[in-house]
Amino acid sequence: MKAILKNREKTVLELSYGLMNGTSKTQRKIAKMLGISRSYVSRIEKKATKKLSKELKPESCR
């Protein structure tokens, strides 16, 4: 099975949506934890959700 998301993308989504412990974090908190800017967190999140959306679409819709 191929990996869809890079590690950082996976981490950002897990933190944003609280997928690991049920507690979501703000982009500002995620940025501080990862040592990056809030706008970069936003871009990573957008790119990751787009990748997942594309991967989950049926073949006929791509």
Condensed to tens digits (0 to 9), the pLDDT of residues 41-53 reads 999 999 999 999 9
Cα–Cα distance measured from residue 48 to residue 19, given in angstroms and rounded to the nearest whole number:
14
Residue 47: C-alpha distances to residues 19, 22, 27, 50 (Å) = 18, 22, 14, 5
**CATH topology for the 1-47 domain:** Arc Repressor Mutant, subunit A (1.10.10)
CA torsion 12→7→31→55, rounded to 10°?
Answer: -40
Q: How much is the pTM? A: 0.86
The per-residue pLDDT for range 22-47, each reduced to its tens digit, is: 999 999 999 999 999 999 999 999 99
Radius of gyration of the chain (CA): 13
